[in-house]
Amino acid sequence: MTKVDDVVVAPTPTERSDGTSAPRAAAGGGLIRRLNAGVAAAPVVLTDAAIAGFALWTLLYHLNLALDLRPSVVFAAWVVAVVIAVAVGWRLRSRRRVEEQIPSAAEPESATAGLGWPALLRRYALPVGAALGAGLLASFGTDSLTWWLAIALGVVAVVSTWTSLRGGMPGGSASVGAGSATGGPTTTPLQGYVVLAVSLAGAYYATLLTRVSLDDVFYVGKSVWVAERDQIPFRDFLFTEGALPGGSANPPIPSFEVFIGALARVLHVHAASVTWYLMLPLLAVFVIFALWRLVLRWAPRRPLLVFGVALAYILLVAGSPDVLNTYHLPRLTQGKSVFVHGLVPLAWVYLTDYLETRSRRALGLLALLSVAAVGLTTTAVILLPLLAATAAAMLLVMRRPREAALCFAAAAAYPLLSALLTRLTTSGLDNVIATYAEVLPPREIYGLSLWLGVLGVIAGVAMWASPLLLRPGVPRLLSASAALSVTVLLIPGVLVLGADLSGLAAVLWRVPWIVPLPMLVGLLAVIKLPRLAVANRVLAFGLPVALVLAFYSLGAPMWTGIVVADKPSWRLPETRKNVTFWITKQDLPAGLVLAPTSVMRAMPQVTTRVRVVMARDLYLTDYGMQTQFATDRLLLGRFADGSDPVPSVPEVAAALDRVDVSAVCLWRTNTIANDAAPALGLVPVASRKSPGGMICYRTTASGSTTSGG
């Protein structure tokens, strides 16, 4: 047998009993086998390659922080480095020996077969009851007492599960036996085709969503800046052209948006088109593949069913702002979304592979994942060390200090070093994120990640009872560590203390992200009751149906409040996009343009050549909301929108002068602002009919100009 990563492929010739080879199969049959093997191997090969490739880009990008080369030069160096890495990897792959597998001292699936009802109750009654009670109190409670009881029961659930199943947890004296490099179950061709079809469908559906994220003005705008100027905007690029510090929204370490911008420049394609038409579908395939890999690695049985229910949970419980699954297809071009739905599941996969097989390849991939995570989002600087610490702490409890140290170093060293260097080398403004945010209450944090009500009970049971649901051995160890860590962190006051020590209050509500929740929810569909064969046959069909119905009836799906387009498009309303492009084509004076706030948010996603007064009001927080710089822009935004309280003509005139506005574009429907134009010395230079009817003016101070049509 030959091996393609973790996919077993049968040899082409078959060997007879006398030692001779049977005739080689027909060319068509060999091609089909190779195709099947390739499809089955795709989730592993493509996700590992993506992790390694983006980690290499991030390393080069971070090196360039000192060199300050143009992004196009860094991109060319990355292409060369990838080619070299592929060549070296292929040579090493051909020489690599099959590594030894160290199997877990796992509890076999039939371990409960000989247990009577008293023994079963002693083993399962407390953890199951505690997990259910914790979920009910966390989801339906309304005061601090019910929250404290929920936390206490959550701890009881995890600890009692650990105690009752400790014989199934991996110990430090596992015997060594021959095995594969991955040591886990493999994707069959049928499963491979299903996963591939689902991922491609998800990729296409992602391009049809028109859900607008207000953060796109930064993420897409940064890529547009890189593509148009071939510069990395380390300082402010939304309000000024580098005159101000970068602010908390623009720390130097993420490399994701710069990669998209550099790729767009090389391809000579608009950066927004690269974002929405190329990167978005590729990322959708990546995160769905990552989910499948974790399901296959951790699920005890029926992985396709677990995978399907997990995807239904992601799709149908994703409509509210900032809840966990909203960071899937609706916001997947943001690095933090790729991190939580792609890299977190893969981190657990690599940890499982290493602890079960001692695979140096898995440990190396975990280290590369830590580099890639830092390149995606600053959130990884907090959450990846937390994830690593939870696994390491449990390994220390299991008296496996060497594995604990290696796993923690591989997953956490680069994020922690990056955070330290950023603190030491950037201005205080780059870390001001904590100055205008407070830690959310624990129950609110629970609701953002696990929801409340019945859906909160489902997610809570999935998290706190996860060691009972998973494949025995390392998966139970890791899920127990993650569930216990999140439970402890949700004790009132713990995150407040963490915010005081770290200065990262605004993002600590994301700590439950270290739990791979969609996969754990999917596991509820394959619950199997000991000694109840008839009941299990009913549950095999009833549980998945009941879960999906609950998601559908109680959740908010991805398409809540948005239009699903009939063809791929940018995530901008069509009229707003057309108006924004129309403004860029006008022969307006050089300088800042004042327009309705929705249009000013769209402008950085279209071009950096037209500078606007206020790309987004939230980002003014970094520069002081009470400063003249901020108050002038907020006042002008109200004037351009025609919103209350409407500023007076003298106030607007003074603000236009201080901000140095050269052109003003107003909706035709904004009669108050248009009527005030003559008194403000605004001279009309261009007009547009509905839809998106607009009039553009130049200020008297900007001099004469001609209309572009």
Confidence grade of residue 185 (pLDDT, cut at 50, 70, 90) = confident
Question: What is the identity of the amino acid at 441?
Answer: P
Fold entry, domain 574-702: Rossmann fold (3.40.50)
pLDDT at 431 over 80: no
Confidence grade of residue 709 (pLDDT, cut at 50, 70, 90) = very low
pLDDT value of residue 89: 73
Largest CA distance in the chain: 102
Q: State mean pLDDT over 148-155.
A: 96
Q: Which of 120-134, 251-265, 309-323 has the lowest mean pLDDT?
A: 120-134
| Average of per-residue pLDDT values in the chain | 85
Q: Which of 557, 328, 378, 550 is nearest to 459 (CA)?
A: 550
pLDDT value of residue 706: 38
Q: Packing angle between helix 474-489 and helix 379-397, nearest 10 degrees? A: 120
Give the pLDDT confidence of 484-514 residue by residue, as tens digits.
Answer: 999 999 999 999 888 877 767 777 889 999 9
Contact 639, 673 (CB under 8 A): yes
Confidence grade of residue 684 (pLDDT, cut at 50, 70, 90) = very high
Q: State mean pLDDT over 220-249.
A: 89
pLDDT value of residue 201: 96
Residue 529: exposure state from Cβ atoms within 10 A (0-12, 13-18, ≥19):
middle
Q: State mean pLDDT over 45-50.
A: 96
Q: Is the pTM of this model over 0.95?
A: no
Q: How many CB atoms lie within 10 A of CB 235?
A: 17
Distance CA 105, CA 50 (A): 33
Q: State mean pLDDT over 167-194.
A: 58
Q: State mean pLDDT over 617-629.
A: 89
Q: Which of 206-220, 404-418, 602-616 has the lowest mean pLDDT?
A: 206-220
Cβ neighbours of residue 477 closer than 8 Å, sequence gap 6 or more:
169, 170, 355, 394, 395, 398
pLDDT value of residue 430: 38
Give the pLDDT confidence of 52-75 residue by residue, as tens digits.
Answer: 999 999 999 999 988 989 999 999
pLDDT value of residue 114: 52
pLDDT value of residue 39: 93
Confidence grade of residue 285 (pLDDT, cut at 50, 70, 90) = very high
Question: Would you state the structure tokens that stand for residue 574, as one six-digit string?
Answer: 């069509």
CA 367 to each of CA 346, 360, 392, 412, 591: distance values in angstroms, whole numbers, following the listed order: 12, 11, 15, 8, 46
Distance CA 280, CA 283 (A): 5
Q: Which helix (H) or strand (E) holds 635?
A: helix 628-641
Q: State mean pLDDT over 676-690.
A: 93
Domain boundaries, the chain: 182-554, 574-702
pLDDT at 375 over 80: yes
pLDDT at 116 over 80: no
Give the pLDDT confidence of 289-303 residue by residue, as tens digits.
Answer: 999 999 999 998 899
Continuous H helices in 299-400? 303-316, 335-338, 344-357, 360-376, 379-397
Give the pLDDT confidence of 317-327 residue by residue, as tens digits.
Answer: 997 778 899 99
pLDDT at 4 over 70: no
Distance CA 514, CA 47 (A): 19
Cα-to-chain-centroid distance, residue 204: 18
